[in-house]
Amino acid sequence: MRLPVVDGDPSAIDEQLAIDMLRTAIDGGVNYVDTAYSYHGGKSELLVGKALQEGYRAHVHLATKMPSWLIESSADMTRYFEEQLQRMQTDHVEFYLLHALNAERWHNLRDAGVIEWAHERIKEGRIAYLGFSFHDTGTVFHEIIDAYQDWTFCQIQYNFLDEQMQAGTDGLLYAASKGLGIVVMEPLRGGKLALPNPEISALWNTASTPRSAAEWALDWVWNHLEVSLLLSGMSTMEQVRQNLAAAGRSSQGMLSSSDLQLVSRVRDAYEELIRVPCTACSYCMPCPNGVNIPGMFQLLNERSMFGSWDAQRNRYVQMKEQGSSAESCIRCGLCEDKCPQHISIRDELTSVVDQLG
């Protein structure tokens, strides 16, 4: 989802670099690759297919996701699945997820016969394991798990700031108690936890064992016995190398009680700073009126987390000239239906205009 791109265009993947990064990761021991129908405007599965040529496919468990929001019937499920296999140049996937489930999408898919459809594909050997990724409340998470006895795994957003958000710690423990494998996404909150302000850096630097801010956040997730694996998007080769090294050092239960106390202090400091809980997943995009929604919230959050206004104001002016500032919002609300964090996007955009417009 966060492959390197050319000129900031999400659908223009920097192909050679992305292939080199994926292969470096696999050579370094990564054995699970997560993509989805919708990532990078549909180009991510194609890129993964190319990267897994020359023998790399055999070294990974491949995971991709049904575009839940586009499905109305089992014929749609088949159509998208066949297209996905073709894009990825493979005849099967090890892990197939119902993408970004919330209550409405789950009910639609269930009523359209998704479980029966998936059983057929499992019998044919074209899907090994069925699971779902999730962005809704803890109550909905329990409902989905309880609705089907044979889920093998789920994918949840989890990091040291999100213990009470979405599935959260309660959901992690519940899924584990039901024997599900648990894949964690957004361990760095979309990268934000890797960029601490000086106050938070100073807190991390009080640790007896030095770690980068990114490593602290990754280690906090890996520390959990219930976590089967962690996904972190990477947009540079340097991040791939750093995360391979961090994974090589990691183990469950590795954090001491004083380490965990430090994480709590950092969490408290962050909670005072973050203004809008946007992870820049871009599910709200494209905005029909051209607003760069994650970009707008990034400006607000950078202001509160890093303290300076000038850079944010300059970027706001540039975006306004391009027609992508919050001032282009016509309050249609299409974005709010798609936001996994359930942010009141229209009101928050008004607040961006108040502060930067």
Ligand X SMILES: NC(=O)c1ccc[n+]([C@@H]2O[C@H](COP(=O)([O-])OP(=O)(O)OC[C@H]3O[C@@H](n4cnc5c(N)ncnc54)[C@H](OP(=O)(O)O)[C@@H]3O)[C@@H](O)[C@H]2O)c1
Name the site residues for ligand X (rule: CB under 6 A). 1-2, 34, 65, 99-100, 133, 135, 155, 185-191, 194, 214, 231-235, 239, 242-243, 281
Name the minimum Å distance from CB 159 to ligand X.
7
Name the minimum Å distance from CB 356 to ligand X.
21
- Could you tell me how far CA 117 lies from the centroid of its own chain? 26
Nearer to ligand X, 211 or 351 (CB): 211
Note whether 89 and 52 are within 8 A (CB).
yes
Nearer to ligand X, 90 or 242 (CB): 242
Whole-number Å distance between alpha carbons of 49 and 227:
27
DSSP lists the bridge partners of residue 86 as: none
Nearer to ligand X, 121 or 135 (CB): 135
Whole-number Å distance between alpha carbons of 324 and 322:
6
Nearer to ligand X, 2 or 303 (CB): 2
Name the minimum Å distance from CB 3 to ligand X.
9
Nearer to ligand X, 191 or 329 (CB): 191
Name the minimum Å distance from CB 194 to ligand X.
3
Contacts of 285 (CB under 8 A, 6+ apart): 292, 293, 294, 335
Half-sphere exposure of 141 (CA within 13 A, CB side): 27
Name the minimum Å distance from CB 65 to ligand X.
6
Nearer to ligand X, 90 or 243 (CB): 243
Name the minimum Å distance from CB 162 to ligand X.
10
Contacts of 314 (CB under 8 A, 6+ apart): none
Read off the DSSP letter of residue 164: T
206 CB-contact burial (10 Å; exposed 0-12 / middle 13-18 / buried 19+)? exposed
Note whether 293 and 349 are within 8 A (CB).
yes
Where would I find the beta strands (DSSP E) of the chain?
Answer: 32-34, 61-66, 93-101, 127-134, 153-157, 181-185, 229-230
Name the minimum Å distance from CB 76 to ligand X.
19
Note whether 213 and 195 are within 8 A (CB).
yes
Whole-number Å distance between alpha carbons of 158 and 218:
10
Name the minimum Å distance from CB 119 to ligand X.
22
Q: Which residue is nearest to ligand X (CB)?
A: 233
Q: How far is CA 274 from CA 299, 300, 321, 347, in A?
A: 11, 9, 27, 16
Name the minimum Å distance from CB 123 to ligand X.
25
Quick one: tokens of 5?
Answer: 């791109």
Read off the DSSP letter of residue 278: -
Nearer to ligand X, 118 or 234 (CB): 234
Nearer to ligand X, 132 or 329 (CB): 132
Nearer to ligand X, 100 or 305 (CB): 100
